[in-house]
Structure 1
Amino acid sequence: MRRVEVLKAVVILQAICLIALTGAVIVKMWPQAFGRGNEQADSVPPKDRDGDEAVATVGGKEITRQKLTEELYKQYGDAVLRTLMLREAMDREAAAKDIKVTQEELDRELAASAEGYESEERFFTVMKEQLGLSREQVLDDMRYRLLLENITAATVPISDAEVTAYIEEHPEQFAPKSEYHLRWIVTDTRELADEVIEKLEGGDEFSELAKSYSLDEFTKESGGDLGFIEADDPFYDSGMLAEAGLLSIGETAGPIAMESGYAVIQLMGQKSTAGLAGQRLQDVVRKQLALERAKPMTEIEDELLVRYDAVIVK
């Protein structure tokens, strides 16, 4: 997996957090563990009619489904129960205050989460491989995270004047951005980079040279492919990105001196993301300012559970 995908996976893992790590496992394996509707949640998992069914064997000894669900309950039961209770409380608060997550918000969140991947499909594939989450689970977790943000933002009033002032003071945050789809080959000496350039000019394939020459273990086996990178991405050398902005698709540049050595790059594609404007810009800034001033979301969660009489029945 490319370096940008590793970084993205970490960010998404933190964002999805408890819901992603525990809910996906427990709810899938044991949907009846906490009951449905108004049924009581017991402190020990109910007996399954198929509880004696073997799900694995070790040296001929069976591990039963009941044993598995009991162990899952002990490790994750409290956390998942809180998640289920909190989701119910959020749904009630959203209905009471007419707070919604629009499809446009969900689409923007998905697009932001999938940045750095080849496509949204690749993003969903990584979520499945790394976290065991289906497309529906990822989208559901996103929706509840956005809903909690909207509920939190609604607790802090922000005036139109404050929104306008912030936009005027930070225009660079909302301007259109360019992204480059790059491949690179990283060497530790200029001589090796010059050798790569010579071979490229002689007709050698960039991807094959990356496998032979590049020091970047994250990308060499994929032909040096970095995917799409924003023109001001702080993770990459600014001089290299400036050179990329001068290339036409298919062209190469180098050697480019960097702190880590020398790079030879190839531009595979380019795109521009639209800047924010109008009501959408106003809404985004208002929410951003409100979240900066609001209580921590964990406190909002606790208040919601108290407000809607969330009680664990032992």
Structure 2
Amino acid sequence: MKYGHSHNAQEPAQKKKLKTKPLLVLIVILFISNVFWFVGWLIPDKKSKQPDEEVASVAGDPITREQWMTAMENAVGRDVLRELVNNKVMETAAKKYGIEVSEKELELELALITSVDGRAYSGLDLEQIRQKIRSTIILEKVLSNDVVIDDSTVKSFYDENESLYTILTSYRTSIIVVNSKKEAERALDELSKGSSFDALAKELSIDLTSANLGGDIGYINADTETIDPAIYKAASQLSEGKIGDVVSLQNGTYAIVQVNEVIEGRKFTFNEVKEHIKRELTIEQLPQSVLPEAFWKEFDAKWFYGK
């Protein structure tokens, strides 16, 4: 089963380009964060563990914690550390250039990006999401600091692409998918007795992608065509923190739906999105994408992996 957001096929391609391209860096960073989160979930508390502790064995031949941790570092360690350094670099840049990121800017970007690709947030808590958005806004402000775009150009873009700034209500949703209605009813009963949705999803759900993230499928809305319609219908009838009844899916499986957060739909006015559009127009003019790594030398960033 697939989850995520599909754009309206009738929307002109040139109108979508400006909205999606500046978000590419953020989505990549968020994907790396998902990996980081998953690895963190896999690794138990190690304060009382010994490096040579046996974590698995095959035909009596042990696999030690040290071997496991080394393999983990080799697989994702470089990307995770790069993310931490990049966040620090962007915060340092904000101090140097006097850049501030307001609460309204964070909320605007959160609403706009969830309408583009709600899956990007799967597995991330709200604080992690806000940090990624903040870092991206800082980067865009640094890159657009010396570029002047007149208000008439910005207003023309807004008028031509007004639909991009009409946001549908989105639901941060988690699911547990099982093969039979009886299994779903048993899971629902366990939840009613206080069991953790996150833990049950990892234990029971047959949809492995969401199960690994505690059932989280990110934000969905009425335009999300790559999920079963029954999931959105159930989510749209729930308030934050609530769990719905058993839902029958088109492929013969059954799901339990939980809504963790609701972002109310609204239409953003020109004044609300003017600075956002200016930054995007500026980024579109750059000959190539600029990543936080471009500022490492300026802020004397160093890491374990050398240059």
Q: Does 1:274 align with 2:267?
A: yes
Higher RCO by CA contacts (8 Å cutoff, separation 6 or greater): 2
After TM superposition, give the deviation of residue 277 of structure 1 in Å: 2.8
Written as runs of structure 1 = structure 2, the 5 A alignment for 1:134-173 is 134-154=125-145, 156-159=146-149, 162-168=150-156, 170-173=158-161
- C-alpha contact (below 8 Å) 1:106/1:143 kept by paired residues: yes
Largest Rg, 1 or 2: 1
Task: Assess, with a 3 A threshold, how the Cα gap between structure 1 residues 226 and 164 changes in structure 2: closer, same or farther.
Answer: farther
The answer to whether 1:127 aligns with 2:89 is no
The aligned amino acid for 2:79 is: A
Unaligned runs of 5+ in 1: 31-47, 118-122, 182-215, 229-270
Q: SS at the partner of 1:114?
A: helix
**Structure 2 match to 1:303:** 294
Letter of the 2:33 partner, please give it: A
Contact 2:86 2:292 in 1 (8 A): yes
Aligned identity (percent) is 19
Residues 52 and 65 in structure 1, CA contact (< 8 A), matched pair in contact too = yes
**Aligned residues, how many?**
205
Instruction: Quickly say closer, same or farther: Cα 1:85–1:174, change in 2 above 3 A.
Output: same
Give distance in 2, aligned partners of 1:51 and 1:305. Answer: 33
Question: What do the CA deviations read for 1:201-253 (whole angstroms, capped 9, x no partner)?
Answer: xxxxxxxxxxxxxxx99536x2895988xxxxxxxxxxxxxxxxxxxxxxxxx
Cα distance in structure 1, aligned partners of 2:56 and 2:81: 27
Mapping 1:242-257, distance limit 5 Å = none
Q: What letter corresponds to residue 273 of structure 1 in structure 2?
A: R
After superposition, the CA RMSD in angstroms is: 4.4
Structure 1 residue 304: Cα displacement: 0.6
Structure 2 Cα separation of the partners of residues 305 and 223 of structure 1: 44
Q: Gapped runs of 5+ residues in structure 2?
A: 8-19, 171-224, 237-263
Deviations 1:156-209 (A, max 9, x none): 4114xx22233136513236748599xxxxxxxxxxxxxxxxxxxxxxxxxxxx
CA contact (8 A) 1:219 1:226 kept: no
Judged with a 3 Å threshold, the aligned counterparts in structure 2 of structure 1 residues 21 and 174 are, in CA distance, closer, same or farther, namely same
* Number of the residue aligned with 1:112: 112
TM-score by length of 1: 0.50
Q: Is the 8 A contact 1:2 1:226 kept in 2?
A: no
Maintained 8 Å contact 2:167/2:265: yes
SS in 1 for 2:63: strand
1:116 CA drift (Å) = 8.4
CA distance in 2, matches of 1:90, 1:27: 24
Secondary structure, counterpart of 2:100 in structure 1: coil
* 1:97-136 deviation digits (Å, cap 9, x = unpaired): 011222112212222343389xxxxx699712xxxx3333
1:310 alignment partner AA: A
Q: CA deviation at 1:66?
A: 1.7
Matched residue SS, 1:296 = coil
Give the 3 Å change call, closer, same or farther, for CA 169–146 of structure 1 in structure 2. Answer: closer
For the residue of structure 1 that corresponds to 2:161, the secondary structure is helix
